[in-house]
Chain A
Amino acid sequence: MSLENYKFHREHTWVKLSGKSKKVKVGITDYAQESLGDIIYIELPEIDTHVEADTEMAEIESTKTSSPVIAPVSGTIVEVNEELIDHPEIINEDPYGKGWIAVIEMDNPEELEDLMDYEDYESYLEEER
């Protein structure tokens, strides 16, 4: 799939841009889901709560570990993916698509400039390994 509209945070989360809208979908990367292993639970953020970029916005548990989901941008949670409550494994199956976690209405779209595009993220992963 094309990841042209996606921007990546170094803590392995993504933002999907849609035109000029301040509302963006966020989720975890393929690398993140693979590192976690089989995901069995996600504690979703609550709607209307405010999240700060670089801080915890949700928590994911897999069969082997648990990990915070770091917000890639600051803003207000306006929607969460309720499908994940009963089927958290969707994140493993389709991390960039059906496995989205929440929609954030950004405080400041300029924050997007701090994020990486896919190519940069890939080379960042190479360095990490």
Chain B
Amino acid sequence: MKVAVIGGGPAGYVAALFLRRLGAEVLLIERQELGGTCLNKGCIPTKTIIHCLSLLEKIKTQNFIKETSFQNFSLDFQELMQKKDSIVETQKKGLLILLKQAGVKIIKAEAELINPKTVFLKNTSEKIYPDKIIIATGSKPARLPMLDFDGKKILSSDDLWELKKIPQSIIIIGAGAIGCEFAWIFHLLGSKVTLIELMPRVLPMEDEDVSKEIEKLFKKRKIEFYTSVSIKNLRSFDDSVEITLSNGKTLTSEVVLVSIGRSFNTECIKTSEIKLGNKNEIIVNEKMQTNIENIFAAGDVTGNWLLAHVAYKEGEIAAKNAMGDNKKMDYSVIPLTIFTVTEVASVGLKEKEAIQKGLSIKKGVFPFRANGKAHIVGEIDGFVKIIADKDSETIIGAHIVGPTASELIHELTVAVKHRIRISDLDDLIHSHPTLSECIGEAIKDFSDEAIHKIR
């Protein structure tokens, strides 16, 4: 069996590795860099930058460090970018070794699907005829209808990596995960940051309490934000951009980041036989199969969740099914993480969502500031909020804002996935002193036994 995988990002390379394990001959076609957006322009580089900037800030704000030795510490932006590049390179080399060891044939080319059986490689004008095809071509930053990226002042999250110096000021359009992460990054870099959001709150896809906490943190850090506003007018000058908002306010900045969502890379599909949705995403069934039997799709291009860890799973499912299996993709329990400096993580149902579903719920909440380890690490903002179904007493959702939220969420992911009862976790002993104790206390809060919570 010969399988062509178009796109070497998280969905594509994972599919390629699984296909090889199942004995297929695999051609992995990538037009740019292996690892896709995640490794080259997304998850890995941004988290490197956030980690380094947070570290620097932590060092600067420790008063047990003698001022004489640390006072003059400052950021070396070029070095920071080099560190980011070197981490990306290390990861990429590792990925290349994995693929080579597995016997995946890597082709660097722009591929076009000219009919359901033929892949055309543009640079060599070669045609290949695989038995199965997996499309994992990913996504790119969406642009505003009235506002195209110019790579200089109107920037996408991809363009940011080309910045040679730190802008004095930046307006970020869209306060979703990407917008909020970059708001922190630029704030820590010393830029004046203003976020604008069409919806009534920042991180509109998260639980309302999460948005409220992050908005409070923005206020504390003097990161300006405007919600429920749209852009009335935008004027671009030589060295600045001026934006007029629907509330009448006029903002000026050196650059603008547009982070309003992603659009899907389906331009490689040159046949009308493959069904696309109204956002230009590839429509797949729960087996990750398109309307054409031998063609599968996985990752961002399917328009589902746009998360690397979901893409991994979709790539695996697509590969297994391409090889004759009958696996189904389950989207019901997916942890979401946002790497703002105070991290956000969630899994399962939000409070409002559960109520809208007609469930009667109860909540267990515990603030990090009542936890000893949070004080030790110097990050006391945020909370753990757990949502349970009142009737069955099972845990159906969890929302964390706080230190290492992205790691802490996984205990509760197990709970939501396996519909664990409150009483099962109530007995669990959490190690001391740890941030995880906040999960134990939030569970105890269901029975009003969160004894470390000051009321």
Q: For the complex, is A6 an interface residue (Cβ under 8 Å from B)?
A: no
Q: For the complex, is A43 an interface residue (Cβ under 8 Å from B)?
A: yes
| Per-residue A-contact encoding for B414-455, CB less than 8 Å = 1, 0 else | 000000000000000000000000000000000000000111
Q: Which residues of B contact A63 (CB under 8 A)?
A: 369, 375, 380
Q: For the complex, is A61 an interface residue (Cβ under 8 Å from B)?
A: yes
Q: Can you name the residue of chain A whose Cβ is closest to the Cβ of B213?
A: A66
Q: Can you name the residue of chain A whose Cβ is closest to the Cβ of B452?
A: A64
Q: For the complex, is A41 an interface residue (Cβ under 8 Å from B)?
A: yes
* Pick from B216, B219, B369, B375: contact of A65, CB under 8 Å: B369
Q: Can you name the residue of chain A whose Cβ is closest to the Cβ of B370?
A: A64
Contact B216 A59 (CB under 8 A): yes
Contact B380 A65 (CB under 8 A): no
Tell me, in angstroms, the Cα distance from A41 to B454 when the chains sit together.
Answer: 17
Tell me, in angstroms, the Cα distance from A36 to B455 when the chains sit together.
Answer: 9
Tell me, in angstroms, the Cα distance from A65 to B381 when the chains sit together.
Answer: 10
Contact A66 B219 (CB under 8 A): no
Contact A65 B454 (CB under 8 A): yes
The residues in A between 60 and 108 inclusive whose CB is less than 8 angstroms from any CB of B are: 61-66
Q: Which residues of B contact A61 (CB under 8 A)?
A: 369
Contact B219 A43 (CB under 8 A): yes
Q: Which residues of A contact B375 (CB under 8 A)?
A: 63
Interface contacts (Cβ under 8 Å), in number, total 23
The residues in A between 25 and 63 inclusive whose CB is less than 8 angstroms from any CB of B are: 35-37, 41, 43, 59, 61-63
Q: Can you name the residue of chain A whose Cβ is closest to the Cβ of B219?
A: A43
Interface residues contributed by chain B, number (CB under 8 Å):
11
Q: Which residues of B contact A37 (CB under 8 A)?
A: 454
Tell me, in angstroms, the Cα distance from A59 to B381 when the chains sit together.
Answer: 13
* Distance in Å: Cβ of A80 to nearest Cβ of chain B: 14
Contact A41 B380 (CB under 8 A): no
| Per-residue B-contact encoding for A1-43, CB less than 8 Å = 1, 0 else | 0000000000000000000000000000000000111000101
CB-CB nearest 4 A-B residue pairs = A65-B454, A64-B454, A64-B370, A64-B369
Tell me, in angstroms, the Cα distance from A22 to B369 when the chains sit together.
Answer: 38
* Distance in Å: Cβ of A45 to nearest Cβ of chain B: 12
Q: Which of A43, A62, A63, A66 has the most CB of B within 10 A?
A: A66
* Distance in Å: Cβ of B382 to nearest Cβ of chain A: 10
Contact A65 B370 (CB under 8 A): yes
Q: Which residues of A contact B380 (CB under 8 A)?
A: 63
Tell me, in angstroms, the Cα distance from A37 to B380 when the chains sit together.
Answer: 14
Q: Which residues of B contact A65 (CB under 8 A)?
A: 367, 369-370, 453-455
* Distance in Å: Cβ of A103 to nearest Cβ of chain B: 21
Q: A63-B380, A64-B454 are in contact. Are A41 and B370 (CB under 8 A)?
A: no
* Distance in Å: Cβ of B248 to nearest Cβ of chain A: 16
Q: For the complex, is B165 an interface residue (Cβ under 8 Å from A)?
A: no
Q: For the complex, is B279 an interface residue (Cβ under 8 Å from A)?
A: no
* Distance in Å: Cβ of B370 to nearest Cβ of chain A: 6
Tell me, in angstroms, the Cα distance from A36 to B454 when the chains sit together.
Answer: 8
Contact B220 A66 (CB under 8 A): no
* Distance in Å: Cβ of B45 to nearest Cβ of chain A: 32
**12 CB-based A-B contacts, threshold 8 Å:** A35-B454, A36-B454, A37-B454, A59-B216, A63-B375, A63-B380, A64-B454, A65-B369, A65-B370, A65-B454, A65-B455, A66-B369
Q: A63-B369, A65-B367 are in contact. Are A43 and B454 (CB under 8 A)?
A: no
Tell me, in angstroms, the Cα distance from A70 to B33 when the chains sit together.
Answer: 56
| Per-residue A-contact encoding for B364-378, CB less than 8 Å = 1, 0 else | 000101100001000
Contact B369 A43 (CB under 8 A): no
Q: Which residues of A contact B454 (CB under 8 A)?
A: 35-37, 64-65
Q: Which of A35, A37, A59, A65 has the most CB of B within 10 A?
A: A65
Q: Can you name the residue of chain B whose Cβ is closest to the Cβ of A41?
A: B220
* Distance in Å: Cβ of A81 to nearest Cβ of chain B: 16
* Distance in Å: Cβ of B185 to nearest Cβ of chain A: 23
* Distance in Å: Cβ of B448 to nearest Cβ of chain A: 16
